[in-house]
Amino acid sequence: MRKPDFIEFTITIGLKMKLHSDIKVFGNVSFRGKCPTEGAEQMTFFNKLRREYPDTYGKIAIHPRNEGKRDIRQTDRHKAEGMTPGSSDIIIPGSITFVCELKRQDHTKCVWQPGQVEYLLAAQQAGAFACLALGWEAAWEAFLQWSVHPSK
């Protein structure tokens, strides 16, 4: 029997959020309920990282700014300057790079943005530790797993 390429989860508006079976997911995919916004989850993760690793990971971790409204000229210019649509929320350079897309703990309250799955798969294919985290605690768990062996 062939392993499916995608696992489907129903989101609240009736559409399907498809999680690629080759992308490791951290967090509880069964969680439903009240949870912080993605932005709040991200701030919590980066604050903790910078507090606990101020001279190493906290200094080099980045969140590429791809969100926001812009006109077509701004978009073309940003792409020419190196903006990559779909780039993940947390990137920490290393001999194996940490690449993490952070979503809300209740994934039914969020959707994939264009290019995010493809970015994670390309990062993984290039040798990165690529994952999806449902909430900041799941992102922290992924980070700790990666940080034990960041060069393997």
Q: pLDDT digit string (tens) for 93-128?
A: 999 999 999 999 998 898 888 889 999 999 999 999
Pick the CATH number of 24-29+36-67+78-148 from 3.40.190.10, 3.30.2130.30, 3.40.1350.10, 3.40.50.720: 3.40.1350.10
Determine the average pLDDT of the residues in 67-79. 59
Quote the longest CA-to-CA distance of the chain: 49
34 — pLDDT class (breaks 50, 70, 90):
very high
Cβ of 136: how many Cβ atoms within 10 Å? 26
Residues 6+ apart with CB under 8 A from 108: 9, 10, 11, 12, 17, 32
Check the CA dihedral 77-81-87-88 and report its sign: negative
Determine the average pLDDT of the residues in 56-67. 86
Check the CA dihedral 70-45-8-15 and report its sign: negative
150 — pLDDT class (breaks 50, 70, 90):
low
> For the chain, what are the domain ranges?
24-29+36-67+78-148
